[in-house]
Each structure stands twice: as C-alpha cells, then as structure tokens.
A = this chain, B = another copy of it.
C-alpha cells in the first residue's frame, strides 16, 4: 500500500477575498506538492482576522501531515500571521536573534526600525526558512510552514522547505484527450472503468472556448500498473466510441 503524505494550504489575506489580488500561489503550490509526492487535500482562504486564522490553523494542522500558510508576515499592522501561529500553538513570540541577524544583512542599523523588526517576530521553538530575496524569513513550527505571500518569495521558501518534507509515493498522472467526444458520450463507460480500478482516480475535465468544448480525461494513482491499465482501458473505450460513429 502506497504511503500517503497529506497537506493543507492556508492563504491568509483580505486582498484575495476582495479580489484585489488574484491568487497565484494555490496553483503553484498544488503542482509543486503533487510533483514531490505530497497530496494537497484542502485549501482555505481566510481574512486578516486573528480568530479566523487561529481556528483554521488548529483545524488544518490536526488533520493533515503538513500545513502550509502564505501571507501576513510583512512589517505592517495587518501582518498578523506569526502572532496567530504562536497563539494557535500556545507558545510565546518575540524578536528572534537569528531572524534579526538575517534582517541586518539587508537593513542598516538606521533602517532597521521597529516596524521592520516586526518581521523578526518568530514563535518560540520555530526553525527559520530562509528568504533569499528580501531576507525576512518564514518559519516552521511543528508541522506548519509559514511562508510569504509574494509569489517569488514564497517559491524560494518552498524550494528551501521541500528537501525536509517526508514524501509519499509520487502520484502518476496520465492525461488523455477525448478528441471530438462529448462527456455525455463516454461518461457511462468511464464510470464502469473507474469502478474496475478502485486504486485509481479518474476525472473528466471539460474546458470551453470560442472553438467549443475540449475534454480531457485524467487518470491518477500511485500504483503504476493500475494507472497504466486504467489509462489503456480509457483509450480503448474512446477508440470504440469513435469507431462506432457515435454522435460527437
């Protein structure tokens, strides 16, 4: 039986919920984690409100192997993630000398004011996640990884985190184009194939453009043999439907 390593992602920020900022992190992190054998099972977006963040952190860190967060670790008053994480874990929080040292690489003593020092507030017992771009670190405490919201910084932090993650069996994914066939034509056969391969997940994904629908069938699983057999069964089924001259 393939080992399953699971994760949740918590996006923290009013700006996503008002639509001011269009999130670019969910898709990136989802693809990244899938690629290294970590199953992303849930995503939540919550506002910059302490009780909402604390509740979501405690719910999600208890349900999955890992919890990743993005956003709210900058120098302004609306950056409350670190304090919320400390509260969720019931630990203290203060300026961390290691984090202060990192900020000193970027800021002169004059520049390193109270607000910027806020970025060195790290919950007790956390380890730091380096930020090669703007120095202010993320951190890990327990199974929770706290990252920046700015995509380029988040991506650099994720690269630093990845080698330390326990990885499960990697997901094997086969994508099959249902060229010219409508979902309603192959749905019944696809359902039968899905029932025959319980270890495999089969999805059908339509997309729509001015040139009409395009349907893709995605076969996913951790057992290479089962995925290959299920994908072959899907291809055979589609070929049969085309050969039958079924309506497009």
Integer count of this chain's copies in the complex: 2
A26 touches B45 (CB 8 A): yes
Interface size grouping (class) on chain A: 35 or more
B42 touches A44 (CB 8 A): yes
B17 touches A40 (CB 8 A): yes
Q: Does A160 contact B (CB under 8 A)?
A: no
Smallest CB gap from A191: residue in B: B77
CB within 8 Å of B: which residues of A? 11, 13-23, 26-34, 39-48, 52, 74-78, 107, 110-111, 113-116, 118-119, 133-134, 150-153, 171, 173, 175, 183-185, 187-188, 190-191, 194-195, 201-208, 213, 218, 220, 247
A15 touches B218 (CB 8 A): yes
Q: Shortest beta-carbon distance, A61 to chain B, in Å?
A: 16
B41 touches A17 (CB 8 A): yes
Q: Which residue of the partner chain, among B20, B152, B187, B194, contacts A75 with CB atoms under 8 Å?
A: B187
23 A-B contacts, Cβ less than 8 Å apart? A14-B220, A15-B205, A17-B30, A17-B42, A17-B43, A19-B29, A19-B33, A20-B31, A22-B26, A26-B45, A43-B45, A75-B184, A76-B187, A77-B194, A78-B201, A107-B184, A114-B188, A115-B191, A116-B187, A119-B184, A133-B208, A134-B208, A150-B207
Query: In the bound complex, how far is the Cα of B30 from the Cα of A187, in angstroms?
Result: 32
A205 touches B21 (CB 8 A): yes
Which of A78, A150, A213 has the largest count of B CB atoms less than 10 A from its CB?
A: A78
